[in-house]
A and B are shown apart, each in its own frame.
Chain A
Amino acid sequence: MQLTHHDDTIELRSVTVLVTVCVVAMAISLIMSLRVGDFSLSLDQILQALKTPNDDTPSFVVWQLRLPRAVLGLMVGAVLGMAGAIVQSITRNPLGSPSLMGVTSGAAFAIVIGLVVFDISYGQRLSVGTVGGLSAAALTFGIAWQTRLNPVYLTLAGMSVALFFAAGISVLLIASDGEAMGLYVWLTGSLGDRTWQHVGQLAPFALLGLVMGVSFARALDLLMLDDDTATSLGVSIHRWRLLLGMTAVILTAATVSVAGPISFIGLIAPHIVRLGLRGDGLRGLGGQLPHRWLLPLSALVGASLIGIADLIAKVQDVPVGIFCVLLGGPLFVYLIGKQPC
């Protein structure tokens, strides 16, 4: 009884600390991103605009330019964080993430083909990106299948597929010539000039991720066990992997369609959650962090990371994807170093 009480205390404390840090980071990034921009707006003007929206310029700048970008950034981070956690769980691979599985590049490649060759509309990007992401995921898993999806091989296969699609994108960029400058900005992952239209486009997928996360947390916990144990517990492993894998691909493609390919958030966010809650009582089946915690907290951490990264990107006037790579690259090297060969 005492032990349970002790665990609950630690559980509550570590979660509270992580949630508090994330909420504070998100709040800071949100407030600061409302202040940073080409128009010089005082805090009073921003608060006034938020309280009483009207047709004047400060109100327009806050409500139509800065707020949608900030909200979209948080949503993109949350969706990517959740997609990363799902990929890591269904592959039982700590190096798993949509970008390292080639999904992000595949989605981007398909969208670039659509834009350059077929002149697809904005609304078609999502479906085209999903097809590209699924194709890339299938290719990655197909290559790594003979090694029984060994984490390092799976990551190498994913990186090979990502490089393959990156080469394809380069070919298209060369072919598109004058279009290329715009494509380059989009391909680095950018939240610049995004509107409520983009927020509206991503919102259903953010909601889908949340619902899936809550609904299938238990299934994801069981998928973390070895296949025989999971099967004996009544889990249809392949069906769940396929369903959840497709969910992760669709979530990733949705973010690519509104913000371009943003790497590493899906990789980092779940790891930060695990690190933040390490050593406490939050251990479920197989000693893993239960997904009822991992998924929402990964979303929260992902949102905070993008919020901060985009704030820096906005100040520096560069696409947010660049800072995500700067954040994620070193951590990826660290995680690779910890993997058994």
Chain B
Amino acid sequence: MRLFIIPFAVLFGVFTRTELLLADTYPVAITDDRQQLVTLTHRPESVAAISVFAADVMQALGSQASGLSTLNHQRTRFLGDTVAHVTDLGEVHETNMEVLTQLKPDLIVGIRTYTEPHAAKFEQIAPFLAYDLIDYADSDRAILGMTTALGKAEEGAQLNRDFAARMAELGNKAPGGLRSVLLWYWDDVPFAFYDHHLAVHIMRELQVNNAFGASELAPSLKNPFAAPISMEKLLQLDPDVILAFKGDSGPFAQHPVWQRLTAVKQQRVYRVADHYVMPHGPIARDMVLRELAHLFYPATFAAPSDIPVAARARPAAFSSD
């Protein structure tokens, strides 16, 4: 009986899949986070990623963006070597329009705040989708919007369902009882992320309290998603685990407060890669979720092995001078 059912199910699946593909008819209209209705007349073959998000979505769908922006003049590392030879579109906030024009993409996808001043130019080149990409809802909405534009709405919805399920699963297994902060710092000015940023949202789903909390000034607004934090405040919060994006050298790392922090004493300060501050794509957020689970609870969760070495969190070093 089982031998009969399995081929039948496979045939049914293939048929259903074909139906879905046939159902992806164009034109397709998507409303992006500018509340702008963007119409695509045909399925995009070439996608320009004006942030790592779109490249992430393409890779999650088994494809590849044709162009990708850089952050701080560096190509993102969490997508591995697969994006190494993709056309460089310049910095995420300052797209090289000549290269973009030459690329002739069918679709351009970017972060709204970075792309807003140049939106008209983007639209002259190709249909353009702009997303906020700050909180969890932004991530789900943008994935669904972009996959719809690519004629793969169901895959997008599935990616969202899978992530929600995995986050719930890991959250249920998480022992809890920890406090943490996610810092981004440059030189001697550290910033801490608020509760609503997606990386911190994931942290909280893992039963870890964000010691910096929510924005008190404008809790209903998505921006700002981070604010400066004084070293005295950090000492007062004294989190169990500290995640820091960017350098662990320079005067900031030599500040005397570091040596008094529990996280430093217990060697639980980690330098994280750029996908922690831009974790909104399906691959990035999944990596952040699984890596955070391990960093917070190494006895409960094994270290994910599929994250490229260059993108993995590593213990931060602090001078005792």
Report A's interface with B, CB cutoff 8 A: 37-39, 57, 60-61, 64-66, 115, 121-122, 174-175, 177-179, 181-183, 185-186, 190, 192-193, 195, 197
By a CB distance below 8 angstroms, the chain B residues around A65 are 231-232, 235, 256-257
Chain B minimum-CB-distance residue to A122: B251
Q: Is B188 a contact partner of A193 (Cβ separation < 8 A)?
A: yes
| B97: Cβ under 8 A from any A Cβ | no
- What A residues does B251 contact at CB under 8 A? 122, 197
Which of chain B's residues has its CB closest to A66's CB? B232
Chain A residues within 8 Å of B191, by CB: 181-182
Number of A-B contacts (CB under 8 A): 76
Cross-interface CB contact of A195 among B72, B91, B255, cutoff 8 Å: B255
A38-B233 CB under 8 A given contacts A64-B256, A177-B92 = yes
Report yes or no: A182 in contact with B250, Cβ–Cβ below 8 A: no
Secondary structure dominating the interface of A: helix
B230 cross-chain contacts in A, Cβ below 8 A: 38, 192-193
Residues of A within 8 A of B252 (CB): 193
CB closest residue in chain A, given B249: A121
Q: Give the docked Cα–Cα distance between A182 and B245 (Å).
A: 13
Q: Assuming A61-B232, A182-B191, what are 12 further A-B pairs, CB within 8 angstroms?
A: A38-B230, A38-B232, A64-B256, A65-B232, A122-B250, A175-B94, A181-B186, A182-B185, A185-B189, A186-B189, A192-B228, A193-B188
Interface check B280, CB cutoff 8 A: no
Enumerate chain B interface residues (CB-CB to A < 8 A): 71-72, 91-94, 184-189, 191, 226, 228, 230-233, 235-236, 246, 250-252, 254-257, 260
Q: Which residue of A lies closest to B237 (CB)?
A: A38
Contact B254 A183 (CB under 8 A): no
A177 touches B232 (CB 8 A): no
Residue on A nearest B188 in the bound complex, by CB: A193
Instruction: Using A65-B232, A175-B94, A193-B230 as known contacts, say yes or no to A182 and B187 having CB atoms under 8 A apart.
Output: yes
Which residues of A lie under 8 Å from residue B256 when comparing CB positions? 60, 64-65, 195
Query: Can you list 22 residue pairs at the A/B interface with Cβ under 8 Å?
Result: A38-B230, A57-B260, A60-B235, A61-B232, A61-B235, A65-B231, A65-B235, A115-B187, A122-B250, A177-B71, A177-B72, A178-B72, A178-B184, A178-B186, A181-B226, A182-B191, A183-B186, A186-B187, A186-B189, A193-B189, A193-B230, A193-B252
